Every structure is written in structure tokens, then in C-alpha cells.
């Protein structure tokens, strides 16, 4: 499902899967049509990363089925987000010249953003030389520029140059591939992919308050994702690979219970008393405060790591306010301890649930109303903004890649994404060998190169062929032709000569039969009577033909054929456009057509004749 006003969003977390089908009403408000939350039966995900694809896919399929029953319709498209595990960020600024008589529109901005993201990707891969390929999972615009001056919105303006600065986020393609594998097993097609902190901050901190220096912390089970705002834009993303699971594991150790029991204990920490059964089967009732005291050292370590990352991302200072979301943010004392570490008043570190989201229509008795139900709505909100404006998946030479969707994407854009060397597409003929034989200039032409081949979906294509999601592109690099090579023995053999019947010199010096002739060599072949010996007769074999209106003499050619003409004219077979036309005496011929005295030869590209120079 992915119509213009209905989106299926999925938050695949370390401990749970949340699915929401939302409708967009009144311009930009979200209205929840159906939702479902399901916990993983076992620990099939760690630190936000999928470890057991079949089990996670089974959970996603169950959520999808329950939503389909509620809505009585089929769900086949979904918006998703990836956790920030192994997150890399890159800040990049690019610009482009435009026609100052034309207003800037969305197409200009789209192209500008795509260029910035491709540049950021190339810079990141250069820095990580030899590392796994990284996939762009989202970005934020830091600033636009018009004629090199900052501007908040380029639409409708005119100028000579427009620019953009983006903050792009990347994850290893292995992380993304596992997420896509889950969706494929659940028969779902991704229509939008973003990063979880991007989705969260989009709905928690609207643009109108991003002038303030704020931090968002999404504390899940496996990771704590962080985003920072300042001066009207999102300025940094980060993560720490610790979150609620560390607290659960501390409870496992303190109470001698299994992981799921520890999870239940953690969720009851707001109560006064908690009753649980340990691994020995002993039922115990304790005060929640006693458990909070036991986990305090681990919670303190978690808070220290989050606080240090916030300060680092924010230019070595604390933000003005911190918003906390995610299931892990509900642990007692967490917000107070974080405020203390950041040296902020306790009221400046607040846990936010759905009731604080201004652009979400409130529903009565919302079963996922807390901070753990926020990110999935951010995923839906991002998807509404990015419909038709996200990433497409393509395959190039049997390897999967993603490309920011844009109008009229071509093969050239795809090759730019993977940093394919365009020189590999240029055909090069072998080098010619030019030398003098008995005072006459001779040229042996290099072998013709084989041009590159571009195939899209098993059909011949060009660099300008338009591509779309799912296309399979196969590129075969051009194969250069071999350089012309000739030894003295080969030269003499072609002329009917033998070394013992004549004197042979190269540049005035005696040379052996295996000598390889170089460009510029001056070769003389003289018989024992000092007569220039050609074909054992002292007389050259030749014919005269007419080539594109000019008389050309083919000298020293036994049994000449059509292709021999190119040894006597200055003409490049790869220099034209289209298909070369070959004619002899007005009739189409092949390269192997025998030539006779007086033949009239024509060679041209389509309707444009090539004149012999």
C-alpha cells in the first residue's frame, strides 16, 4: 500500500515490530487507521541489526496479516527505517550554474540534492578505501545557497548559481540487504527507506523550532540514536551501541532470570512491588526500588555514553533541551541522570510520547501511546514527504546498488553512483606502425578495438537510456585493439624476400630477422647487386582505385581486398556516428571483397561521406 494519502510504515526494532497504516489529512496531519505491535519470540536481532532473517520475516508477516484483517485490504508496499548501527555521516556542499532567466523549481532542487549525495558517497568511499560499500539511508538539508548566499528555500528564485549543503547518513549495504531480505520474504516492496533518528526527529522536532539547539535521543533495545538541531537545520546524527538491552541483561544477572522475564521486570519498574520467578522456579516479590538500585551502575554507564556522544556531536557543549523517545527512555531515573550529566535542569530532559506530537490526530486508548510508538509515525511522515522521491534499487554487473530517485535517471547516473571509470567505455584502436621502406613511407594499422556494450534488462542500451527501479544493467568495458607489430622477417616474407638473398639495414645498421620494427625506422632492402629488391622482381605490385572521388595507388599488395584501402588513406573507422557504409562500384561490399584495377570505392557514415585527407 502506498497511495497518495495512505502509508504502511514499519518499525523493525531489536525487541519488537510495530506496524502502522496512516492516512494524511488536512494537508500534513497523520491519522492512524490501524496499528499492531508484536514482540520477537526470541532474540533474532541484536543492537538493531537482523541476525535471523527467517524469524524476523515471520514476525513482519504476522504484523502485516493482522493489519490486513483490520483494514480488509492487501498490504504490499511499506516504508521502513534502519537503526544507526555502524552509522557513517558525511557533510557535503555542492553548487551548479543555472539559467538566470528561469525560476528554480523542484526539478532543480532534486538534481542538486542527488549531486550532493553522490558526491558525499564518493568522498566517504574514498576515505574508507577498501571497506564495505555503504548505502545512503537518508539525509538532511543543512542550507541552500543562491548566488553563494544562504537561503532557506530556493523555489521560485532566479539566479546564476544554486547550491546546497547536506548531511548524508550511510550504513553498510549488508545491514540494508538483510532488511530488504526480510521484506522480500514477507512479500513487501519498500517504497521509502530512512534512518530511525531522521524519522524520529522529523516528527518530534518540527522545522519551526529547529533554530534552537536541541537533541533527540531514541533509546531502543539495541541502540541509542541521536540527532542534533541548531540554526534551523539538523546538524548531526550519531549513535551509541548500548540501550535498553544492557539494562535487561543487568536484571538477568541480578535476579537470576531468563531474558524475557527480565524484560517483564524492567517494564514494571514504575510499580512499587514486582513478583517474578527465577530460573530455579522460586517465586520472589521485591520492591522495584531494590532492582533499580541493583541496575544503577549499568544505567549510569549507559547514560555516560549517551551524554558523551551528545556533547561530541554538539560541538563539545550541551544542547539547550533533550527529547527522549523509544522504549528504553521509560526506565526510571534515566532522564534525571541524563540531565545531571549534561548539566541541565531536570525539566530540560523530557520523555515524549504520541500525546506531544502536534501533527498526529489523537486516538482514544492508544495501545502504543508512549515513547516507543513515536518513531514508526516519523517513518510514515517521512514517506508521505518522499513519495516518488526516495531511492531506487538497481543491479549493475550482478551487484545491487541504490540510487536517489530523480526524474529521467539514466545509465550515466547509475555509473556515476558506483564511480565507474568512464574511460572504460571509450574504445581505443591499436597504435599504428609508421616507418620508411626504401625511402617510401609505410603504415601498418593497429587492430580495431571492440566498443563497450551496455545492456539494460537484456536489451541494447546507451548512456542516455532511462532507468527505473529494479532494472538490471550489464556493462562490458571496451577492449582496446592490439598495437601494430612487425618484425623484419615478417616484412621480408610479405614481400617474397629471404634474408640470405639481400642486405637489410635498419637506420643504417645491420639488423637480425627477429628485430621488431619501431615507428620512424628507416629500412632498406637491397639485393646482392645493390638493386632495390621488391617481390624478387625489382618492380612493385600495385593497382590504382578511386576512393571517395580521389585516385589512390595501393603499392606492394598481393591480391588486394577492400580492407587494404585503409592502409593508404588517413581515415578512422571509429570517428563517425551510426553504421559505416562500404561500396565498391556502387554495390555494398564486405571488408574481404577483392579489389581490381580502377575500382570506384565509397566509404561513409550514413548520409555523410568521409573525405580522404
Over residues 205-228, the mean pLDDT reads 88
pLDDT at 610 over 50: no
pLDDT at 533 over 60: no
Give how far Cα 591 sits from Cα of 121, 404, 448, 544, Å.
Answer: 48, 47, 13, 18
Distance between CA atoms of 141 and 587, rounded to whole angstroms?
A: 63
Task: Return all residues near 129 (Cβ < 8 A) that are at least 6 apart.
Answer: none
With pLDDT > 90 as the criterion, what percentage of the chain qualifies? 22
Alpha helix positions (H), 206-351: 244-255, 259-267, 288-313, 334-341
* Per-position DSSP letters for 341-387, written without gaps between them: HTT--GGGEEE--GGG-TTB---TT-TT-SGGGSHHHHHHHHHHHHT
With pLDDT > 70 as the criterion, what percentage of the chain qualifies? 87
Confidence of residue 414 (pLDDT cuts 50, 70, 90): confident
Q: Which residue from 167, 360, 143 is spatially nearest to 231, judged by alpha carbons?
A: 143
- Position 575 scores a pLDDT of 55
Vertex 178 angle, CA 62 and 18, to 5°: 35
The residue with greater pLDDT, 8 or 526, is: 8
Which of 57-71, 400-414, 441-455 is predicted most confidently?
57-71
> Taking the CA of residue 274 as centre, how many other CA atoms within 13 Å lie in the half-sphere pointing to its CB?
22
- Position 576 scores a pLDDT of 54
Over residues 364-389, the mean pLDDT reads 83
Dig out the grid coordinates for 40 from the structure: 520477537
Distance between CA atoms of 393 and 87, rounded to whole angstroms?
A: 20
Summarised one tens digit per residue, pLDDT across range 422-447 is 667 777 888 888 999 888 888 888 88
Q: Which residue from 389, 223, 227 is spatially nearest to 319, judged by alpha carbons?
A: 227
- What's the per-residue H, E or C state across 83-102? CCCCCEEEEEEEEEECCCCC
Give how far Cα 467 sits from Cα of 234, 370, 410, 411, 546, Å.
Answer: 32, 43, 5, 6, 47
Radius of gyration of the chain (CA): 36
pLDDT at 271 over 70: yes
Over residues 238-266, the mean pLDDT reads 88
Largest Cα span, the chain: 122
Q: Are 221 and 237 in contact (CB under 8 A)?
A: no
pTM here is 0.59
- Position 577 scores a pLDDT of 57
Distance between CA atoms of 167 and 58, rounded to whole angstroms?
A: 35
Dig out the grid coordinates for 419 from the structure: 564511480
* Per-position DSSP letters for 188-231, written without gaps between them: -EEEEEEEHHHHHHHHHS-GGGTTS-EEEEEE-SS-EEEEEEET
- Position 339 scores a pLDDT of 94
Return mean pLDDT, the chain. Answer: 82
Confidence of residue 3 (pLDDT cuts 50, 70, 90): very low
Residues facing 392 on adjacent strands: 403
DSSP 432: P
Distance between CA atoms of 163 and 184, rounded to whole angstroms?
A: 38
Summarised one tens digit per residue, pLDDT across range 583-609 is 899 888 887 888 888 889 988 776 544
- Position 321 scores a pLDDT of 94
- Position 252 scores a pLDDT of 92
Residues facing 145 on adjacent strands: 150, 163
Q: Give residue for cell 541493583.
A: 294
Give how far Cα 185 sits from Cα of 60, 194, 463, Å.
Answer: 9, 20, 34
Amino acid at each position: 500500500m502506498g497511495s497518495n494519502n495512505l502509508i504502511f510504515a514499519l518499525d523493525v526494532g531489536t525487541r519488537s515490530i510495530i506496524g502502522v497504516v496512516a492516512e494524511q489529512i488536512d494537508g500534513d496531519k497523520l491519522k492512524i487507521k490501524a496499528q499492531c505491535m508484536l514482540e520477537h519470540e526470541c532474540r533474532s536481532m541484536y543492537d538493531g541489526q537482523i541476525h535471523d532473517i527467517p524469524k524476523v520475516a515471520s514476525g513482519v508477516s504476522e504484523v502485516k496479516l493482522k493489519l490486513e484483517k483490520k483494514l480488509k485490504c492487501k498490504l504490499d508496499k511499506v516504508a521502513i527505517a534502519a537503526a544507526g548501527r555502524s552509522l557513517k555521516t558525511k557533510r557535503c556542499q555542492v553548487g551548479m550554474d543555472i539559467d538566470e532567466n528561469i525560476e528554480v523549481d523542484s526539478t532543480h532542487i532534486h538534481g542538486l540534492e542527488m549531486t550532493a549525495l553522490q558526491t558525499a558517497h564518493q568522498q566517504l568511499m574514498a576515505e574508507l578505501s577498501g571497506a564495505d560499500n555503504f548505502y545512503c539511508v537518508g539525509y538532511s538539508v543543512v542550507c541552500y545557497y543562491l548566488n553563494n548566499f544562504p537561503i532557506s528555500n530556493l523555489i521560485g528564485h532566479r539566479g546564476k548559481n544554486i547550491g546546497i549543503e547536506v548531511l548524508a547518513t550511510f550504513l553498510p549495504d549488508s545491514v540494508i540487504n538483510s532488511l530488504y531480505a526480510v521484506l522480500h520474504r514477507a512479500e513487501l516492496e519498500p517504497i521509502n527507506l530512512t534512518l530511525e533518528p531522521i524519522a524520529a526527529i522529523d516528527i518530534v522536532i518540527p522545522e519551526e523550532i529547529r533554530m534552537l539547539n536541541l537533541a533527540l535521543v531514541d533509546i531502543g533495545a539495541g541502540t541509542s540514536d541521536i540527532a542534533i538541531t541548531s540554526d534551523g537545520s539538523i546538524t548531526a546524527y550519531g549513535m551509541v551501541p548500548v540501550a535498553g538491552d544492557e539494562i535487561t541483561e543487568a536484571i538477568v544477572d541480578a535476579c537470576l532470570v531468563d531474558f524475557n522475564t527480565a524484560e517483564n521486570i524492567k517494564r514494571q519498574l514504575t510499580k512499587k512491588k514486582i513478583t517474578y520467578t527465577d530460573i530455579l522456579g522460586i517465586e520472589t516479590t521485591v520492591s522495584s526500588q531494590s532492582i533499580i538500585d541493583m541496575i544503577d551502575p549499568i544505567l549510569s554507564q549507559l547514560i555516560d555514553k549517551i551524554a558523551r556522544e551528545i556533547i561530541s556531536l554538539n560541538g563539545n557543549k550541551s544542547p539547550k533541551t533533550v527529547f527522549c523517545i523509544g522504549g528504553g527512555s521509560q526506565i526510571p531515573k534515566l532522564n534525571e541522570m541524563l540531565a545531571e550529566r549534561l548539566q541541565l535542569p531536570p525539566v530540560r530532559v523530557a520523555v515524549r510520547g504520541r500525546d506531544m506530537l502536534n501533527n498526529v490526530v489523537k486516538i482514544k486508548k492508544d495501545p502504543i501511546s508512549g515513547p516507543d510508538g513515536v518513531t514508526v509515525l516519523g517513518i510514515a511522515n517521512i514517506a508521505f514527504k518522499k513519495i516518488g522521491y526516495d531511492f531506487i534499487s538497481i543491479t549493475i554487473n550482478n551487484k545491487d546498488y541504490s540510487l536517489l530517485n530523480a526524474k529521467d535517471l539514466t545509465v550515466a547516473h547509475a555509473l556515476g553512483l558506483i564511480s565507474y571509470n568512464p574511460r572504460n567505455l571509450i574504445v581505443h584502436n591499436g597504435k599504428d606502425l609508421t616507418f620508411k621502406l626504401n625511402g617510401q613511407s609505410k603504415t601498418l594499422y593497429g587492430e580495431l578495438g571492440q566498443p563497450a556494450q551496455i545492456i539494460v534488462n537484456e536489451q541494447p542500451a546507451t548512456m542516455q537510456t532511462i532507468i527505473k527501479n529494479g532494472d538490471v544493467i550489464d556493462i562490458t568495458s571496451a577492449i582496446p585493439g592490439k598495437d601494430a607489430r612487425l618484425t623484419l622477417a615478417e616484412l621480408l616474407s610479405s614481400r617474397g624476400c629471404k634474408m640470405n638473398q639481400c642486405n637489410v639495414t635498419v637506420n643504417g645498421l645491420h639488423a637480425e630477422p627477429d628485430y621488431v620494427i619501431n615507428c620512424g625506422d628507416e629500412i632498406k632492402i637491397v639485393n646482392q647487386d645493390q638493386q632495390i629488391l621488391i617481390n624478387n622482381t625489382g618492380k612493385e605490385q600495385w593497382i590504382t582505385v578511386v576512393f571517395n572521388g580521389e585516385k589512390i595507388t595501393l603499392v606492394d599488395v598481393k591480391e588486394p581486398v577492400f580492407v587494404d584501402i585503409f592502409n593508404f588513406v588517413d581515415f578512422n573507422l571509429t570517428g563517425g556516428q551510426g553504421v559505416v557504409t562500404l561500396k565498391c562500384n556502387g554495390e555494398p561490399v564486405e571488408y574481404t571483397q577483392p579489389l581490381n584495377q580502377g575500382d570506384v570505392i565509397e566509404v561513409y557514415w550514413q548520409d555523410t561521406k568521409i573525405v580522404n585527407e
